[in-house]
Amino acid sequence: MKLWDKEISTEQGILAFTTGKDPLYDLDLASYDVLGSMAHTIMLAETGLLEKDEAAQLLLELEQLHSEAMEGKLVLEPGVEDIHSQVEMVLTRKLGDVGKKIHTGRSRNDQVMVDIKLFLRDEIKEVAGRTMNLAELLLKQATTHRDVLMPGYTHMQVAMPSSFGLWFGGYAESLSDDLTYLQGIHAIVNQNPLGSAAGFGSSFPVDRELTTRLLSFDNLHISSVNAQMNRGKTEWYVGTGIGAIASSIARLAMDAVLFMGQNYRFISLPPELTTGSSIMPHKKNPDVLELIRAKCNRLTMVASEVSAVTGNLISGYHRDFQLLKEILHPALEELNICLEMMQYVVEHMEVKQDILNDDTYQYIYSVEEVNLKVQAGVPFRDAYREVASEIDRGHYRPGRDHTYTHLGSIGNPGLAEIEEKLQKAYGGFRFVNSTELVNKMRNYFEKS
């Protein structure tokens, strides 16, 4: 069954090619297609396009379909093209002509678009939650190891003293920035396209404001043209958010891989989080971190993949958009897995004490020596040259004291301020419970 079926035969090879993997990813949208259909049903009845008793029948069956979708029991039957067709077919099978009326006033274009918006809204909620959990764990580690010093690097060369409080806290703040960025993406995603039909509106008196309220969208795409142009842009926005978080995690993984090496030994992981070598019995390889790094580096390209599909399209719907599910759905799943794995790794990470006592880092306090001379009245550039000369001539005798006091330094890493920033970033989301929306809509006409 196809919603566009005109009883004209399509060659099976062409049909298989054009359908592609869409049925697989349509199952991710199943519960959201039902949710959008419930709001659309109520709107049809409220605008006189459907009898209220008919709408009540549809809502009852749609609620059952939502339960089946949540349990993984709603599947595409053989020969059914997509989830939209499956839902309408089941409704028609159970309710006859009443089931056939549900597509009044909408197109598959705005139907799939609202499914995608609802799906991505929930996906952002999950990603944001996992990101928040990792950031809070990093802050916990930062607090625990606040004063444990470690080398800081520039150009991969030993530079100045850092600390695990600063290092863990820095990544927590990076994820806070990613959450703030994701807020803006969530605001764009959380707009209602339903009622835009094929991208040019409908001659039916649909009430788009009502479906916006029913589905708890923060806003609606006012222009029907823009509602359809947002297909592709929505996926691109989400792709950039995936890339931002993935970039932070990949860099954290790279740091951890480096710091676990025998030439560093700043951190260690329990044996069960490492793997061995087939010929070298001493090896403890950080495979988990390496795979997180590789997967997250690949995830930074999601937005570029979306652009590669949509970059030269004019306004309006194109079948090209179908491929975006194959890009975005696996990427979201992979990001969540990487966040979960990194959470586990950071939780079990052990930190080495007294790292800077090693002679490798004897020059790491050279900046402190310059600053002491400046505080004694020597102009900075002269102080810099004096210390550089002492190092060159082998006369430099480093101290081990430091006087960092400003916010964001090893003496004052600002962990409470980062926590406040993080809570503000996460608290800025207005998340919605999709199942609660179903429960509110199922008895809509009993209330009225």
Per DSSP, helices labelled H in 201-301 are: 208-214, 224-260, 287-299
- Whether residue 248 is found in the same domain as residue 179: yes
Let me know if residue 377 belongs to a domain.
Answer: no
- Given 79, 104, 129, which residue is the final one in a domain? 104
- DSSP state at residue 191: E
- Given 45, 73, 104, which residue is the final one in a domain? 104
- Whether residue 34 is found in the same domain as residue 181: no
> Is-contact 328 28, C-beta < 8 A?
no
Let me know if residue 87 belongs to a domain.
Answer: yes
Query: How many domains is the chain partitioned into structurally?
Result: 2
- Whether residue 310 is found in the same domain as residue 172: yes
- Whether residue 63 is found in the same domain as residue 145: no
Amino acid at 135: A
Let me know if residue 241 belongs to a domain.
Answer: yes
CATH code assigned at 246: 1.20.200.10
Query: For residue 201, what are the CA distances in angstroms to 107, 197, 254, 447?
Result: 10, 5, 50, 30
- Whether residue 288 is found in the same domain as residue 239: yes
| Residue 198 exposed, middle or buried by CB count within 10 Å (0-12, 13-18, 19+) | middle
SS (H, E, C) 237-258: HHHHHHHHHHHHHHHHHHHHHH
- Displacement of CA 279 from its chain's centroid (Å): 39
Let me know if residue 171 belongs to a domain.
Answer: yes
- Whether residue 282 is found in the same domain as residue 332: yes
CA distance 228 to 417: 41
- Provide the domain limits for residue 173: 121-196+225-358+414-431
- Each residue's pLDDT, cut to its tens digit, for the chain (448 residues) gives 555 455 555 577 776 777 777 778 889 999 999 999 999 999 999 999 999 999 999 999 999 999 999 999 999 888 888 899 999 999 999 999 999 999 999 999 999 999 999 999 999 999 999 999 999 999 999 999 999 999 999 999 999 999 999 999 999 999 999 999 999 999 999 999 999 999 999 999 999 999 999 999 999 999 999 999 999 999 999 999 999 999 999 999 999 999 999 899 999 988 887 776 566 666 678 899 999 999 999 999 999 999 999 999 999 999 999 999 999 999 999 999 999 999 999 999 999 999 999 988 988 989 888 998 999 999 999 999 999 998 899 888 777 777 788 999 999 999 999 999 999 999 999 999 999 999 999 989 876 5
In 336-436 the beta strands, taken as DSSP E runs, fall at 350-351
| Residue 201 exposed, middle or buried by CB count within 10 Å (0-12, 13-18, 19+) | middle
- Whether residue 35 is found in the same domain as residue 153: no
Let me know if residue 6 belongs to a domain.
Answer: no
- Whether residue 188 is found in the same domain as residue 54: no
Let me know if residue 111 belongs to a domain.
Answer: no
- DSSP state at residue 158: E
- Whether residue 330 is found in the same domain as residue 272: yes
Per DSSP, helices labelled H in 145-207 are: 164-189
> Is-contact 84 2, C-beta < 8 A?
no
Predicted TM-score (pTM) of the model is 0.92
- Whether residue 231 is found in the same domain as residue 259: yes
- Whether residue 159 is found in the same domain as residue 245: yes
Query: For residue 316, what are the CA distances in angstroms to 37, 197, 224, 299, 335?
Result: 22, 11, 10, 28, 30
CATH code assigned at 28: 1.10.275.10
End-to-end Cα, the chain, rounded Å: 35
- Whether residue 250 is found in the same domain as residue 191: yes
